[in-house]
A and B are shown apart, each in its own frame.
Chain A
Amino acid sequence: MTSRGRRHLVLSLAAAAAAVSARPMRAQITATPSVFVAYVSHQVDEGFGDERTSGPVLGADVRVAPTSWTELTVTGYAGTLTPDSGQIDARRMSDIELSGSLFATPWLAFQLEARARSYSTSLARQRWLSLTVGGELREPMFDGAAQAVIKAGLLPVVDVSGLPSPNFAGTAAAGFELLRAPLTGSVMFSFERYDFPTTSNGPRSEQVVMVTAQIGVRFPR
């Protein structure tokens, strides 16, 4: 491409950007920062029985709604899970997620979520990368002061360090969100399930169960 052609392209893009930015905002952008505490139970079965660690995690997220039909959420949390038996080590769980929701109707949204998670012990660190595709049902209750939420999704892409990709990976959640402007809150039960291919060690499956209590403030109030 010649320098003249490049300049023409840049000018065209600038004009298009200016035109888009000049369009009137149709809906007010809202942002909802929240903090939450969750009880996490992580269970692993490698063929030698149920290894379970559990404990509280603390986290925060920011949910931004650019329009009434889209949402973007960034979530991060971390905590130490202690073993229920003395045969395994405690581990530190860290997680960061980026998700986007597109509302087909006020009560049905499609979600796409990217997640990076790690489990760290004194000996090793296991890294999880995954992509979730799912949907979410929201039904208002109490004249909109709360809503019942049910989510479900599949994880078509899961990359775990030191392990093959699971044959099946799914997630689901159910709970309630409270909307008492400007405060928001939620109580959610979420569940993740991973079934890995059978190796010489036998079948391996893992599941993560969380009960989360969250509170946030929506801006503008």
Chain B
Amino acid sequence: MTSRLVRCAPRLSLVTVLIAVAVSVAPRVAAGQATTDETLQRAIHLYEDLQVERALTLLRQVISPSTPFVVSPAQRVTAYKYLGAAHAILGERDSATVYFRAALERDPFVDLDADEFTAQERALFEQAKQQTFAVAVRPIARARIDPRTESVSFVLVSTHGVLLSAEIRDAAGNESLIFESENDGVREVSWNGVLASGRLAPPGRYELVVRGVSRLDSTRVDSARLYFTVEHDRPALEDTLPPLQASDLLPEHYPPSAATTELAKGLGVGLAAIAIPELFGKREFSGASRGLGATVAVGGLAVGVLGFRWRHEHSEIAPNIALNARRRAERASTNAEIASRNEGKMAETALIISPAAGAGP
């Protein structure tokens, strides 16, 4: 017992240390984010109170590499935006543009609200957008769409005038262009789940590739990617019935022995016509009985030979052929009904589009 406790002791102490570290670090990270947020809010409040210099001090703390606090990308973009705006108020146009560009390069969707920012600030922001070139696509939320009536929206943006294209690429690399046009700013592009092939996108992983070619400088090209998955949501499909097997069908042709059987039947009658007078008549009477019997025997032979030839030439079993054809038609009809019902279910297919992480397909 004691030895087990001794063996467990190092493991317990390691766990204890890890827990202690986690407990001590977690509040600091949370506190760091909270502090950055508080600093940003105070800076924005000072900016709104036109205490621009004090606001700049706080904003610089946020973006400083030496800041002890955790700064999220969104907080950094906000800091750059207000830094640009503060410098614009101070008349420092170049600095304002630099900070606006820094914000745009990190988030092309960033914008200045006309209710919150002055015309001068927005003018400089526009100037920064002209100097910056970036395209982006906004992440999507999980959505369920009925392709017949609904579509999923991708929000694209370009910082200035571009020839913008957006295409859906599947796992096999097949591309379906869903948008191509001049664009400046934010653009909402709808996609109803149909690929260039005209078919509904099968379930799988897809990539939305957005490309932009600047209208100001055609050598400047930028692209953005968004990964998502497509799932089908529809009632379960029915399986069609398998084709009829030989065991399900009646034989459509007589076996080769059938011709011999026909011959045997004719010969049987002929033999009977010869044998009957011999067996019953005991050979006591001559003449007509045997002669008539022989005549009928020859007739029987002839009928047998005819039957043999006829069966060779007519080996089809017509009733079975008709019955099999009816069975096949019934099977085809059933399968057509199933296919029709399945088509109806397919038409009801809804797409569930979810954001996906990781590398592209």
Binding site for B on A (CB under 8 A): 39, 41, 43, 45, 50, 52, 54, 84, 139, 141-143, 146, 148-150, 170, 172-176, 187, 189, 191, 193, 205, 207, 209, 211
Contact = CB atoms under 8 A, between A and B. Distances in A.
B314 A150 contact: no
B264 to A, nearest CB: 9
A174 B273 CA distance: 6
A189 B285 contact: no
B281 A193 contact: yes
A149 B285 CA distance: 25
B262 A141 contact: yes
Interface of B: 262, 265-266, 268-270, 272-273, 276-277, 279-282, 284-289, 292-293, 295-296, 299-300, 303, 307, 310, 314, 318
B269 A149 contact: yes
Contact of B266 (A43, A141, A193): A141
A174 B300 contact: yes
B296 A170 contact: no
A142 B314 CA distance: 9
Given A50-B287, A191-B289, A209 B268 contact: no
A212 B333 CA distance: 53
A173 B279 CA distance: 12
A143 B282 CA distance: 37
For B266, B281, B287, B292, which residue has the most chain A Cβ atoms within 10 angstroms?
B292
A52 B295 CA distance: 19
B269 A174 contact: yes
B252 to A, nearest CB: 14
Contacts of B281: 191, 193, 207
Contacts of A172: 272, 276, 279-280
B348 to A, nearest CB: 49
20 contacts: A41-B292, A43-B285, A50-B285, A139-B268, A170-B280, A172-B280, A173-B276, A174-B273, A174-B276, A175-B273, A175-B296, A176-B269, A176-B299, A176-B303, A187-B299, A189-B276, A193-B282, A207-B280, A207-B285, A211-B292
A150 B269 contact: yes
A170 B276 CA distance: 10
Contacts of A176: 269, 299-300, 303
Given A149-B269, A150-B269, A193 B288 contact: no
Contacts of B310: 142
Contact of A174 (B262, B296, B314): B296
B144 to A, nearest CB: 60
A43 B295 CA distance: 18
Nearest to A187: B299
Nearest to A168: B280
A39 B293 CA distance: 12
Which 4 residue pairs of A and B lie closest in terms of their CB atoms, listed nearest first? A41-B288, A174-B272, A189-B296, A193-B280
A24 to B, nearest CB: 26
Nearest to B272: A174
Nearest to B270: A174
Contacts of A149: 269
B284 A45 contact: yes
B295 A211 contact: yes
A50 B268 CA distance: 30
B282 to A, nearest CB: 8
B266 A148 contact: yes
Nearest to A173: B276
Contacts of A139: 265, 268
Contacts of B265: 139, 141, 148
B277 A209 contact: yes
